[in-house]
């Protein structure tokens, strides 16, 4: 019975499951591309920060105006002053952009201002004259910078040269309208020339050699002037006084420079002024009045300054803006007729 019962039941099949592990394939390089993009973006970001830190506000404003130029508003009541009152600078139908609004140019009416300027004597310069004036101003500025640089080099050379360092009190520099003035003067018993003669001392030779070595590289001409102090010099005679002595000392300085390599053609003027141009006018006999002046002449002299107008002064009748005062003088006689007839009588005088 038991066996029969077992045989009547269905036998379930035995199922075996096997898991097969398939190895994963090799990974691609997509992450490398993403990482490279990230590094590039960070480098661009830090470069932008550096450029913003190194750029001034004026440059950033210029860049902003270049890519998005400013434009006036499109209000219908726009106007600038009375000349453009009610005139709008934008035009209907123009292509508009949010980044760069359109702009147009409008000729400002003169309303006869050109003719008015000609009637009142206002001088209007042409473009050529404007360019010439700008060129002259540039040349004057460049020459001024050159003279400043020459004076700085001379002062530095005196400080660095041990042979003339102790003579720095015997040399003076001054920038004038005529040029750079360099003066070699007697100071504290240190003479530039032997007393009463035109013979240069070793001090004068050292200073003149230093100055010539710097001025020889400049294109400007040089004027040399000799000076003396007041009173008779040692060895003076009735025929050889301060005028002759100052002229000879200037000529000696010129000859020494020309014989030691300085272009003679640039030494354009040599003169003696005796004691007519004192350095210390309060002490005419002071030793510093005995000196030699070397003037590095300007090629472009600055324009003279015009005096400021006095607002309290009344313009004369002949000047613009003045009114002609009534004259009580009789009128000029009329010219004689070409045919030889007598001129008509003069008009009567106005009643007083």
Domain-located, residue 76: no
The pTM for the full model equals: 0.50
Domain-located, residue 232: yes
Domain-located, residue 173: yes
Residue whose C-alpha is closest to residue 207's, from 265, 267, 166, 149? 166
**DSSP secondary structure, 268-326, as one string:** EEEEE-TTSS-SSTT-TT-GGGSEEEEEEE-SSPPPPPPPPP-TTSPPPTTSTT--PPP
Note the pLDDT of residue 188: 85
Look up the domain containing 238 and give its range: 136-297
Q: Work out the average pLDDT over 89-99.
A: 47
What is the total count of domains within the chain? Answer: 1
Going by C-beta distance under 8 Å and a sequence separation of 6 or more, which residues neighbour residue 104? 89, 90, 91, 94
Chain centre distance of CA 150? 17
Choose between 331 and 129: higher pLDDT. 129
Q: What are the counts of helices (DSSP H) followed by strands (DSSP E) for the chain? A: 7, 5
- pLDDT tens column, 268-303: 999 999 999 999 999 999 999 999 999 999 887 766
Domain-located, residue 260: yes
The confidence band for 135, taking pLDDT boundaries of 50, 70 and 90, is low
Domain-located, residue 32: no
- pLDDT tens column, 3-32: 555 555 677 788 888 777 777 666 667 888
Is the model's pLDDT at 78 over the cut of 50?
A: no
d(CA 269, CA 247): 11
Domain-located, residue 329: no
Domain-located, residue 246: yes
CATH number where 291 lies: 3.30.1330.60
d(CA 198, CA 84): 76
Domain-located, residue 250: yes
Is the model's pLDDT at 85 over the cut of 50?
A: no
Q: DSSP state, 192?
A: S
Is the model's pLDDT at 177 over the cut of 70?
A: yes
């Amino acid at each position: 019975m038991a066996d029969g019962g077992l045989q009547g039941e269905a036998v379930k099949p035995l199922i075996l499951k096997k898991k097969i592990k398939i190895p994963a394939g090799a990974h691609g390089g997509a992450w490398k591309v993403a990482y490279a993009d990230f590094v590039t973006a960070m480098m661009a970001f830090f470069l932008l920060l550096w450029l913003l830190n190194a750029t001034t506000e004026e440059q950033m404003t210029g860049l902003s105006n270049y890519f998005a130029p400013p434009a006036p508003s499109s209000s219908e009541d726009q106007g600038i002053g009375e000349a453009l009152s009610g005139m709008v600078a934008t035009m209907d139908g123009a292509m508009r952009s949010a980044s760069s609004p359109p702009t147009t140019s409008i000729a400002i009416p003169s309303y006869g201002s050109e003719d008015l300027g000609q009637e009142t004597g206002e001088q209007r310069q042409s473009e050529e004259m404007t360019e010439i004036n700008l060129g002259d101003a540039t040349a004057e500025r460049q020459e001024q910078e050159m003279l400043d640089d020459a004076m700085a080099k001379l002062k530095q050379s005196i400080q660095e040269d041990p042979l003339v360092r102790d003579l720095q009190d015997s040399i003076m520099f001054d920038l004038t309208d005529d040029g750079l003035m360099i003066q070699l003067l007697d100071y504290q018993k240190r003479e530039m020339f032997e007393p009463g003669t035109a013979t240069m001392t070793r001090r004068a030779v050292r200073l003149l050699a230093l100055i010539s070595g710097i001025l020889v590289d400049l294109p400007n001409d040089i004027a040399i002037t000799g000076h003396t102090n007041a009173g008779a010099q040692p060895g003076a005679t009735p025929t050889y006084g301060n005028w002759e002595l100052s002229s000879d000392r200037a000529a000696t300085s010129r000859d020494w420079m020309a014989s030691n390599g300085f272009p003679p053609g640039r030494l354009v003027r040599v003169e003696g002024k005796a004691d007519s141009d004192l350095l210390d006018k309060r002490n005419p006999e002071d030793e510093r009045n005995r000196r030699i002046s070397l003037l590095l002449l300007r090629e472009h002299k600055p324009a003279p300054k015009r005096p400021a107008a006095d607002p309290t002064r009344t313009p004369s009748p002949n000047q613009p803006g003045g009114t002609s005062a009534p004259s009580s003088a009789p009128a000029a006689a009329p010219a004689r007729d070409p045919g030889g007839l007598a001129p008509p009588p003069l008009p009567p005088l106005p009643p007083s």
